[in-house]
Structure 1
Amino acid sequence: MPIWVDADACPVVVKDILCRAADRWKITTTFVANQGIRVPPSPFIKTRQVMAGFDVADNEIVRLLQPGDLVVTQDIPLAAEVVENGAVAMSPRGQPFTRENIRQRLAMRNLMEELRSTGEVTGGPSGFSQTDRKQFADQLDRWLQKNARRASGPLRE
C-alpha cells in the first residue's frame, strides 16, 4: 500500500516524518509536486514532478492511486476524489477524510472560500503546531500498523 503526498503545500516536518516512515516500514512513498522536491536517498522514497497548472498534481495522484493507498493532502477536493476511489486520505495535521465527513468538509471549505472572497473572513488556517505534528505522526503510525502486512508485499509504482 503506497503513500502518495500532495507535496506542493506539505509542511517540511510532515515530509520528514513521511521519509523516516518510508524507510522504517519499507513502503513506497511518492511526493508529487509541480516543482522539484528534495528527499533523502532511499529506494522507498520517490518524487514525481508534474507540469505547473491547476490541479495537475492532484490529477496525477488520482490517476496513479489504488484502493487502500494513503494520500496525504490538505486539498479537500482532492481528498474527496481519493475517498471516492476507495483510498485513504489524511491531512498533514493528521485529520482523516472519510466518506462520513468529506461532504461537510467540502461545504465548510466552500463557505470559507466565499467568506474570504467577500472580505468577511481574512487569513487562513493557524500555523502548524507541535500538536499537529504529533497528531499526524500518530495517525500515520496507526495506518502503517493496520496495513503492515500488505505494505510488506511487492513494490509498485
Structure 2
Amino acid sequence: MKIWVDADAAPVAIKEILYKLADKRKVETIFVANRVLKLPRSQHLHFRLVAAGADVADGEIVRLLKKGDLVITADIPLASLVVEKGGTALNPRGELYTKENIAERLSSRDFMQELRDGGVETGGAPPFSAKDKQRFANAIDRILARLR
C-alpha cells in the first residue's frame, strides 16, 4: 500500500502529519505536484513533479494508483476516480470518500460549480482549523490500521 498526496493544495499541517506518519508507519508516501516541493529526507517520502495544467497531477495519481492505495485529496472528481479504481480517498479535513457517498459529494460539487459559473457567490470552504487537523490525524490512523 502507498499513500498518494495531491500536494498542490494540501495544507502544510497535513503535509507535516504525513511526513511523520510515513516514517513512523514505514509507508511509502508520494507527493504529486506541478511545482517543486521540498520534502524532509526519508526513504519513505517521494516527490513526483508533473507538468502545470488542470488535473495533470490528478491524472498521474490515477495512472499510478493501485487497488488498496490511499489518496489524500480535497478534489472530489479525483476522489471519485480513486474510489472507482479501488483506492481509498481521504480529504484533508478527515472526510473519507466512499462508494456510498462519492456520487452525492460529486453531485453537490457540480451543482455549486454551476451556481458559481452562473455568477452566484457561494463562498468557499471554511478556514482549515486545528479540529480539521485532528480529524484528519484520527481518520488516517484508522484507515492505515484497517489497510495494513
Q: Quote the RMSD (CA, aligned, Å).
A: 0.9
Q: Secondary structure at the match of 2:47?
A: strand
Summarize the alignment of residues 42-57 of structure 1 with structure 2, pairs less than 5 Å apart: 42-57=42-57
Does the CA-based 8 Å contact 1:112-1:121 persist in structure 2?
Answer: no
TM-score, normalised via structure 2 length: 0.97
- Corresponding residue for residue 10 of structure 1: 10
TM superposition shift of 1:65: 0.7
Determine if contact 1:32/1:61 at 8 Å carries over to the other structure.
yes
Name 2:29's counterpart in structure 1.
29
Q: How far apart are residue 122 of structure 1 and its match?
A: 3.6
Counterpart position of 1:77: 77
2:97 is the counterpart of 1:97: yes
Deviation readout 1:36-62 (Å, 9 max, x if unpaired): 011100000000000001111000000
SS of corresponding position for 1:113? helix
Q: Give 3-state SS (helix, strand or coil) of 1:115's partner.
A: helix
Unaligned runs of 5+ in 2: none
Q: How many residues of Structure 1 are paired with residues of Structure 2 in the alignment?
A: 148
Deviations 1:3-41 (Å, cap 9, x if unpaired)? 000000000000000110000000000000000011100
CA shift for structure 1 position 119: 2.7
Residues 1:62 and 2:27 aligned together? no
State the distance in 1 between where 2:80 and 2:142 align: 21
Secondary structure of 2:53's counterpart equals coil
Report 1 or 2 for greater relative contact order, CA contacts < 8 Å, sequence distance ≥ 6.
Answer: 1
Gaps of 5+ in 1: 149-157
Residues 129-140 of structure 1: pairs in structure 2 closer than 5 A: 129-140=129-140
Q: Does residue 1:124 correspond to 2:124, yes or no?
A: yes
User: TM-score by structure 1 length?
Assistant: 0.92
Deviation at 1:70, TM superposition (A): 0.1
Aligned-pair identity in percent equals 53
Give the superposition deviation at 1:115.
1.4
Looking at structure 1, the residues matched to 30 and 130 of structure 2 have their Cα atoms a distance apart, in angstroms, of: 24
